[in-house]
Structure 1
Amino acid sequence: MRYGIVALPLLCSLTANAREPVEVRWTDDPLSRLKAMAMLQSLNADLLSHPSATLTLERWCGAHHLARDAKVVARLVKGVDKPLPEGAREQLGIGADEAVRYRQVQLVCGNLVLSEADNWYVPSRLSADMNRELDSTDVPFGKVVQSLHFRRQTLSAELLWSPLPQGWDEGAVLPPGTHRPLAIPAHVLQHRAVLVGQDNRAISLVVESYTSNVLAMPSAVLAPTP
């Protein structure tokens, strides 16, 4: 089940899929669930209000001490491919025979993968130099095509996981705490957007999936103030 965006941020423990073990202590209790929801909504709002996910995650990484050096870098995942999502050709404004290329990039802070971005782009709407750079380097797509003065049109932003039950904001009873680790899936938030060039033609469809590592705060950061 997917959850519509409300308006708060999130809290949790690392999932089994987390890339790098970090000492975190998200426990399954009502207060932790409320904090988790608040953190997740805060991150979502920050991402939606700034054009660069990389810089937003870098600020998040530094503010929440996710790594010693709060520097987010892009890492190209090679040798992978994914088919176009349903309806993508209509969103890109292309016909059935138009060539589309796929690129996946991870945004990493320290040893933690914070985001995995699937990007389907239309090579015929880019220059030869842009296509060459996208094929051979780790440079983020937005930086490669920045001379096109593109704009971002957000299609959707949704929580993939909610630490609180449906109807919690209308008085639904929170689940009792078990005091066991709070179970969180590998991906907690997803954004879908189309990048449109200054000629009003779409150049790319991007799906950004944010991992549970955005909540991998050290236990000292999570501990309540005495």
Structure 2
Amino acid sequence: MGPFDRTDRLRWQAASLLAAAPVAAFAAAAGPAPPAAVQPQLARAEQAQALHARLLAGHSATATLEAWCAEHGLAAKARVRAVQVRDVQRDAPEEVRKALQVQADTPLRYRRVQLACGQRVLSEADNWYVPGLLTPAMNKVLDGSDEPFGRVVGPLGFQRQTLRDEAYWPPRGEGPKAVLLEVHALLRDRDRHPFSYVIESYLAQALP
């Protein structure tokens, strides 16, 4: 190796050390990487936040859940169905009648459902609604089928108003039915009449 080659090599080595120094200093300041077990939990927390934001921004929980199910491959066919829980009846609390702007003697119907996509139950919902503000055909479908409420009343051109919501991380409870998010929402028709009050609990099974 000639003098010129040796000088070039020494310059290259010095430049390499200078370039590596800031990287090493940054790595030392950053500290050790988090344990691998922590990273999946962070990813699930971020997914829960994303679902929360989309549900609050969407006009229909059914449509939002179907899109979510399709994007994350939660089922072979991304179609949400409402599995009715028929052996449960609950009187409407005073706050429900107040929000729906109806008198104590105004007939309300109650529907408890589990919204499922494939084999996963994504949410459970209690729904009190004013049958007099729906068409007879809509009431018939809601009484006798597992069609989601939002899909059935879609022709009303409704808008969804979130009254309050609360997120839980870690989820509230244990197992696949642990609750990620609880939402109280009011549905209004195109004339701004409130016709449905729903309390929704979104479950851990909704996460990929």
Which TM-score applies when normalising by structure 1?
0.67
- Residue pair 2:115, 2:148 contacting (<8 A) in 1 also: no
Counterpart in 2 of 1:84? 92
Q: Which runs of 5+ in 2 are unaligned?
A: 1-34
Structure 1 residue 60 corresponds to structure 2 residue 68: yes
In the aligned structure 1, how far is the partner of 2:135 from the partner of 2:118? 33
- Aligned with 1:115: secondary structure? strand
Structure 1 residue 128 corresponds to structure 2 residue 120: no
Out of 157, 169, 181, the position equivalent to 1:162 is 169
Aligned-pair distance for 1:93?
0.4
| Root mean square deviation of aligned Cα | 2.6
Structure having the higher helix fraction is 2
Q: Which has the higher contact order (CA 8 A, sep 6+)?
A: 1
Counterpart in 2 of 1:111? 119
Q: Which has the larger radius of gyration?
A: 2
Q: 1:65 to 1:198 in 2, by over 3 A?
A: closer
Q: What's the CA shift string for 1:155-174, capped at 9, x where partnerless? A: 12221x2139xxxxxxxxxx
Counterpart in 1 of 2:205? 213
- Residue pair 2:62, 2:151 contacting (<8 A) in 1 also: no
Amino-acid identity (%): 45
Letter in 2 for 1:142: G
Q: How many residues align?
A: 172
- Aligned with 2:128: secondary structure? strand
Counterpart in 1 of 2:191? 199
Q: Which runs of 5+ in 1 are unaligned?
A: 1-26, 165-181, 218-226
- Aligned with 1:68: secondary structure? coil
